[in-house]
A and B are shown apart, each in its own frame.
Chain A
Amino acid sequence: MAVKGPGFPVPVFPASAVDTWGDVQELRARPEVRLVPTPRHASVLLVAGSIPPEHREAVDRVHDQLPHPRATVWWRTDPDAPTRAGRTVEGGPDEVVEAIIAAHLAVAVDPEASEPDRRPDEEAHEWRGVGPNGQGGEGMMGGTPYGRPMAMTGDDRDGLALDQLHLRLGPFLDALPAGMVLDVTLQGDVLQQVAATRPGAPVAAGTTVAPGRQGLHGLAHGLHVQGLEGLAARAAGLALDCGRGREVGPDLVRLRRGIRRSGLLWMLKGTGVSGQVGDAADRWAHRLDRVEAAVGGGAPPESTVLDLDDLGPLLEGRTLGDAITTLVSLDLDLDLVAQGVPR
Chain B
Amino acid sequence: MLTLDGVHAGYGPIAALRGVSLEVGEGRLVALLGANGAGKSTTLLTVMGVLKPSRGTIRLAGESLVGLAPEAIVRKGVAMVPENREIFPALTVEQNLRLGAFVRYDRVRFRHDLDEMVALFPVLGERLTQPAGTLSGGQQQQLAIARALMSRPRILMLDEPSLGLAPRLVEQVFALIARLRAEGRTILLVEQNVTRTLDIVDYAYLMNMGEIEAAGTPEDIRRRVDVASVYLGGQRAEAAP
A binds B: no
**Interface positions of A (Cβ within 8 A of B):** none
**Interface positions of B (Cβ within 8 A of A):** none
